[in-house]
Chain A
Amino acid sequence: GAGVSQSPSNKVTEKGKDVELRCDPISGHTALYWYRQSLGQGLEFLIYFQGNSAPDKSGLPSDRFSAERTGESVSTLTIQRTQQEDSAVYLCASSYPGRFGYTFGSGTRLTVV
């Protein structure tokens, strides 16, 4: 596609439920990144994929968070047993390998009630 697509754009879930967030990167972008942005805060790194391997999972906040990527395309970020502090905008970005600018999606706004 023309850009990075994320779905859903908004998700309201009850505390304790599991959620799946999806990211479709730009075709040909082998690098894929997940960040989290809380209200008025900067971007917090979560995880990075090169192809379908994840060399850096250091940012995942807890073992309730996991992510996978199919080949060099779609990625899914899963949050199990959601907590209120998980409420944030989850941003996905993709890029060519190497030092290039990222292309971000519009994000998924997650609200845990």
Chain B
Amino acid sequence: SQKIEQNSEALNIQEGKTATLTCNYTNYSPAYLQWYRQDPGRGPVFLLLIRENEKEKRKERLKVTFDTTLKQSLFHITASQPADSATYLCALDILSNDYKLSFGAGTTVTVRA
């Protein structure tokens, strides 16, 4: 069956350090992979989209990689700040007609000042 796995443990890091989150998937051949941020009591907010033919994508302090051979995406937050504390979700887009996203359970990041 299809499965999406993110870091099961919450991530606690010191301000200024780089947070690295992992998203692994099995039995999928996604055309696209997306990352979202979710704060408590709020809906997820779209951050980045990376296509299967792209190796890396950057947006400000965020960097995403996508390795279709390893079936893995890495999400990096550089120069982390306490405001980056949130749950981060990866989502896979299967090449089909309906553009439905399947989401991972998320990784909670806490950045200490």
Contact = CB atoms under 8 A, between A and B. Distances in A.
Interface of A: 4, 31, 33, 35, 41-43, 45, 48, 50, 55-56, 91, 93, 95, 97-107
Interface residues of B, number: 24
Contacts, number: 56
A106 B31 contact: no
B interface: dominant SS: strand
B100 A103 contact: no
Nearest to B102: A45
A52 B100 CA distance: 16
Interface in B54-113: 89, 93, 97-106
Nearest 5 CB-CB pairs, A to B?
Answer: A104-B43, A101-B46, A42-B105, A43-B103, A56-B98
